[in-house]
Amino acid sequence: MSEFLRMGGYARYLWPSYAITFIVVVLNVIWARRLLARARADALRRLAAQGGES
């Protein structure tokens, strides 16, 4: 296992590369989901306001 983690001496370059890419992937999921949740909430608020007026 530690042999695997050492990656033949390249660990200090390899694992940060994987970590950065992982973070970018996860952040993309979080950002997109948050954007959609906000857009939905905003649209629902607006619909509620419209419904109240008519």
Partner 1 sequence: MAWTWFHRLGSPPFVYRLATRLTPWFAWPAAILIVAALYGGLVLAPPDYQQGQGFRIIYVHAPSAWMSLMVYVTMAAASAVGLIWRMKVAHAVAASCAPVGASFTLAALTTGMLWGRPMWGTYWEWDPRLTSELVLLFLYLGYLGLRASFDDVQRADRVSAVLAVVGVVNVPIIHYSVVWWNSLHQAPSVMKLGTPTIATAMLVPLLLMLAGFTLFFGAILMLRLRAEVLRRERGTNWIREALSS
Q: Which two tokens stand for residue 41?
A: 């909430």
Output DSSP code: residue 10.
T
- If binding is defined by CB under 8 A, does position 1 make contact with partner 1? no
User: Considering only residues 1, 2, 7, 53, which one is a binding residue for partner 1 as defined by CB under 8 A?
Assistant: 7
Tokens 């906000």 found at: 38
Find the shortest distance in angstroms from Cβ 3 to partner 1. Answer: 10
Cα–Cα dist 6/8, whole Å: 6
Subset of residues 24 to 53 that bind partner 1, contact rule: CB under 8 A: 24-25, 27-29, 31-33, 35-36, 38-40, 42-44, 46-47, 50
